[in-house]
A and B are shown apart, each in its own frame.
Chain A
Amino acid sequence: MNIENTKAQMRKGVLEFCILSILSKGDHYPSEIIGKLKDSKLIVVEGTLYPLLTRLKNDGLLSYRWEESSSGPPRKYYKLTPLGEQFLKELDMTWNELADAVAKATKK
């Protein structure tokens, strides 16, 4: 059993939840999201974010708009769709239940 692998699996499970949470506080473009995720050590490299964002967008949870940038190509600013907000609420509830359950289960 690879401990790194397990850690990665756990991180991955909450990653979508975190992204949706970050976007619920305002529109962001990928580099900003990465900055926040990196601070909390949920993500190590940027590359992994792009496929995830695309998938969430294709599932109708996110939408984006283009915004010109002073340094480089135009940026994609992502925001939650109503469906995304709904989804986030459910995830929020699940997370709280889960956190309680885990706390109970691991309590010594």
Chain B
Amino acid sequence: MKKTLTINLSGIVFHIDEDAYEKLGSYLNTIKKSFSDSDGRDEIMADIEARIAEMLQEKVGQNKQVVSIGDIDHVINIMGKPEDFAGETEPGQEQQKAKEQTSGYYNGRQRRIFRDPDERMLGGVCTGVASYFGFDPLWMRLGFALSFFIFGTGLLLYIILWIVIPVAKTTADKLEMRGEPVNIDNIGKTINEETEHLKKKVNDLKNEFRSKENRQRMSSAAENITGFLTQIFGTIFKIIGNFVAVLMIIIGTLLVVALMASLFGVNSVRILENGQEASYSIREFGNILFNSVYQMDLAFLGIGLLLGVIFIRLIYGGFKILFKIPHTNRILRYTFTTLWITGLLISIYAGILFVRDFNVKAKTTHNVSLQEPGANILYLKVKTDPAIEADADDEYEEGINIHNKKMVIVNNHRCNLVTFDEKKITLGPPDLNIIPGETDSFELIITTNARGETKKDAMNRAKKIKYNIVQTDSVIEFDHTFEIASEDKWRGQNVELTLKVPKNKMIYLDKSMRHIIYDIKNASNTLDEDMLKRRWVMGINELKCVDCEGLDVDKDEMGIPPPPPPAVPGEITIPKSPK
């Protein structure tokens, strides 16, 4: 069954199949475009149409009422192909016409993109795109072949284009495929034509305003203006649309490449700072987060689908706008939706598996017995990376820095250190609090926290956290970081330190302590960082400052603190106590 249309050809009515109509229409149009006004185009066309009507009249009759595509082919055969007409045009135009024919272009209809089934290597994508933009398919193929090696980008683009671009099935399709090439010359030509059109319209408008019946014609003039404006805006939107489309394709491709590189690449996470560099693969990061490779793959698959589908959709949309393809392939739309939802479900499942491991919290505490220092004062410092401490006088820049291949995340003036390899993860710093002690001696309580799916898991992890302090006489050196075995994964492990200071005994906070002290209660409500390089004595409930003369603490004004006592390990000179 076929749909038919009714046409009037030279005053005679024909019923014609839809495909035959398409073909006849494009045939007549092509011929029309090969003549100029001065050739007497309208008359020639009328003659040709009359002859075609005559021939079709012979074809149809009582038994055969509808003109089929075969009849049109017959007519075209007799009348000749559009390029044959060029032989009879003026000599001046001849060369140009001949040139156009040798390059295989038909005049007339605007070119549309199709995959070329006759010239294909794989799907005819390269030929199609190349003939759309009017260059040699070889370059296109070469370009695609090379881009296959950039994380398979070329392959991806090729497949998308294969799906987006329809195949040229009918002769009309093939004619349109070889229509006027979309290139600079043509754009210039279109603009020229539009300018001519504009001039003509403006003249028409002038005449209409001058004419006596201008009042009646005002409305039609207004229509002309609106029509013209619509045309201009249409052109502008077309240009913007193409620009956006190209942008969409480029951004989409970059995002897909970035996604692929980060999921499968080796040194994809690269952090650069002051010429120092640390690079990890995202799988190395994944190793410290996910319980098993299976869980990690699942999560990556989920995220890959979730984002990948969106990025590919972006590229697809760009091509659709660029090549003016009106509708989305239905199968493709379902595929996109299905893949995306699958990605979402996998992500949720992987997320649940992951979060489940943070279900229960457990902690261990143990007391470290400290030697009583002479002179009732304990010097506290942090054993930290010299590179970090070297510029400790400067304000750290908030964010991620690299020091000696360690990742240093600076947050709130504290340096959080993260390093990891196959065996261990080191994290830091622990939090130190200083509270009054119940006994006459200094005590240190180390609390380790961890999370797990069960209480037992969490407890195991908490027990395996390694943290060290070293006491040398009256100096305690805290480690900046604690260690977790890599197989334990990162499950919210942290270390809390509580130093119990007996009443009337003193401590001194070294500059390096800035990294671990956390919200220490004191009589003068001094901020943590201002407590450094000073001695503090334990009162009834809280610490009191010893070296704070000249610092008007009551009014919260920060004066210039007195020069701090030297804090070189082993060479500590105990400052003279006040009074």
Q: Could you mark each residue 79-103 of chain B with 1 if its beta carbon is under 8 Å from any beta carbon of chain A, else 0?
A: 1110011011100000000000000
- Is B54 a contact of A50 with CB atoms below 8 Å? no
- Is B80 a contact of A48 with CB atoms below 8 Å? yes
Contacts A54-B43, A58-B40, A73-B11; A47 near B54 (Cβ below 8 A): no
Q: How far is the CA of A45 from the CA of B78 in the complex (A)?
A: 5
Judged by a CB distance under 8 angstroms, whether B309 is at the interface is no
Cβ-defined partner of B54 (8 Å) among A8, A58, A72: A72
Cβ-defined partner of B80 (8 Å) among A47, A71, A72, A74: A47
Residue total for B at the interface (Cβ-Cβ under 8 A): 27
Q: How far is the CA of A61 from the CA of B186 in the complex (A)?
A: 38
Q: Could you mark each residue 37-64 of chain A with 1 if its beta carbon is under 8 Å from any beta carbon of chain B, else 0?
A: 0000000111110111111001000000
Q: How far is the CA of A40 from the CA of B51 in the complex (A)?
A: 21
B11 to chain A, nearest CB (A): 6
Q: How far is the CA of A30 from the CA of B79 in the complex (A)?
A: 12
- Is A71 a contact of B54 with CB atoms below 8 Å? yes
Judged by a CB distance under 8 angstroms, whether B551 is at the interface is no
- Is B85 a contact of A54 with CB atoms below 8 Å? no
Judged by a CB distance under 8 angstroms, whether A28 is at the interface is no
Q: Which residues, 48 to 94 on B, are CB-close (under 8 Å) to A?
A: 48, 50-51, 53-54, 57-58, 77-81, 84-85, 87-89
Residue of A nearest to B77 (CB): A45
Cβ-defined partner of A50 (8 Å) among B10, B48, B53, B58: B48
- Is B51 a contact of A51 with CB atoms below 8 Å? no
Q: How far is the CA of A12 from the CA of B50 in the complex (A)?
A: 24
Across-interface contacts of B87 in A (CB, < 8 A):
8, 12, 48
- Is B12 a contact of A55 with CB atoms below 8 Å? no
Q: How far is the CA of A69 from the CA of B53 in the complex (A)?
A: 12
Judged by a CB distance under 8 angstroms, whether A94 is at the interface is no
Q: How far is the CA of A52 from the CA of B44 in the complex (A)?
A: 9
Across-interface contacts of B78 in A (CB, < 8 A):
45-46
Cβ-defined partner of A47 (8 Å) among B10, B11, B57, B84: B84
B486 to chain A, nearest CB (A): 77
- Is B80 a contact of A54 with CB atoms below 8 Å? no
Judged by a CB distance under 8 angstroms, whether A86 is at the interface is no
Across-interface contacts of B473 in A (CB, < 8 A):
none
- Is B79 a contact of A45 with CB atoms below 8 Å? yes
Q: How far is the CA of A54 from the CA of B84 in the complex (A)?
A: 17
Across-interface contacts of B85 in A (CB, < 8 A):
47-48, 51
Cβ-defined partner of A51 (8 Å) among B11, B39, B54: B39
- Is A50 a contact of B11 with CB atoms below 8 Å? no
Q: How far is the CA of A55 from the CA of B90 in the complex (A)?
A: 10
- Is B40 a contact of A54 with CB atoms below 8 Å? yes
Judged by a CB distance under 8 angstroms, whether B35 is at the interface is yes
Cβ-defined partner of B40 (8 Å) among A44, A55, A73, A74: A55
Judged by a CB distance under 8 angstroms, whether B427 is at the interface is no
Judged by a CB distance under 8 angstroms, whether B31 is at the interface is yes
- Is A51 a contact of B79 with CB atoms below 8 Å? no
Q: What is the interface of chain A mostly: helix, strand, loop, or mixed?
A: helix
In this complex, the member of A8, A47, A50, A72 whose beta carbon has the largest number of chain B beta carbons within 10 angstroms is A47
Q: How far is the CA of A72 from the CA of B59 in the complex (A)?
A: 11
Q: How far is the CA of A25 from the CA of B168 in the complex (A)?
A: 49
Q: How far is the CA of A86 from the CA of B264 in the complex (A)?
A: 86
- Is A31 a contact of B88 with CB atoms below 8 Å? no
- Is B51 a contact of A30 with CB atoms below 8 Å? yes
Cβ-defined partner of A54 (8 Å) among B12, B31, B44, B77: B44
- Is B84 a contact of A50 with CB atoms below 8 Å? no
In this complex, the member of A8, A48, A54, A74 whose beta carbon has the largest number of chain B beta carbons within 10 angstroms is A54
Judged by a CB distance under 8 angstroms, whether B194 is at the interface is no
Judged by a CB distance under 8 angstroms, whether B47 is at the interface is yes
B480 to chain A, nearest CB (A): 86
A2 to chain B, nearest CB (A): 10
Across-interface contacts of A73 in B (CB, < 8 A):
10-12, 50, 53-54
Across-interface contacts of B80 in A (CB, < 8 A):
44-48
Contacts A48-B88, A73-B10, A73-B11; A31 near B43 (Cβ below 8 A): no
A98 to chain B, nearest CB (A): 19
Residue of B nearest to A76 (CB): B47
Q: Could you mark each residue 61-98 of chain A with 1 if its beta carbon is under 8 Å from any beta carbon of chain B, else 0?
A: 00000000101111110000000000000000000000
- Is B39 a contact of A48 with CB atoms below 8 Å? no
- Is B89 a contact of A50 with CB atoms below 8 Å? no
- Is A46 a contact of B39 with CB atoms below 8 Å? no
- Is A71 a contact of B58 with CB atoms below 8 Å? yes
Across-interface contacts of B50 in A (CB, < 8 A):
72-76
Q: How far is the CA of A71 from the CA of B61 in the complex (A)?
A: 11
In this complex, the member of A46, A72, A75 whose beta carbon has the largest number of chain B beta carbons within 10 angstroms is A72
Cβ-defined partner of A30 (8 Å) among B39, B47, B84, B88: B47
Q: How far is the CA of A48 from the CA of B44 in the complex (A)?
A: 10
Cβ-defined partner of A53 (8 Å) among B10, B47, B79: B47
- Is B79 a contact of A46 with CB atoms below 8 Å? yes
A6 to chain B, nearest CB (A): 13
A105 to chain B, nearest CB (A): 24
Q: How far is the CA of A73 from the CA of B8 in the complex (A)?
A: 11
- Is B88 a contact of A51 with CB atoms below 8 Å? yes
Across-interface contacts of A55 in B (CB, < 8 A):
39-40
B547 to chain A, nearest CB (A): 104
- Is A72 a contact of B53 with CB atoms below 8 Å? yes
- Is A50 a contact of B44 with CB atoms below 8 Å? yes
User: What 10 pairs between A and B have smallest CB-CB spacing?
Assistant: A45-B80, A72-B54, A47-B80, A47-B79, A72-B57, A73-B10, A50-B47, A54-B40, A51-B88, A48-B88
Given pairs A12-B87, A50-B48, A51-B44, 13 additional interface contacts (CB within 8 A): A8-B87, A45-B78, A45-B84, A46-B51, A46-B80, A47-B80, A48-B85, A48-B88, A54-B39, A71-B58, A72-B54, A74-B50, A76-B50
Residues of chain A having any CB pair with chain B under 8 Å: 8, 12, 30-31, 44-48, 50-55, 58, 69, 71-76
Would you give 23 A-B contacts (Cβ < 8 Å), ordered by A?
Answer: A30-B47, A31-B54, A44-B84, A45-B77, A45-B78, A45-B80, A45-B84, A46-B80, A47-B31, A48-B80, A50-B48, A51-B40, A51-B88, A52-B88, A54-B39, A72-B53, A72-B54, A72-B58, A73-B11, A73-B12, A73-B50, A74-B50, A75-B54
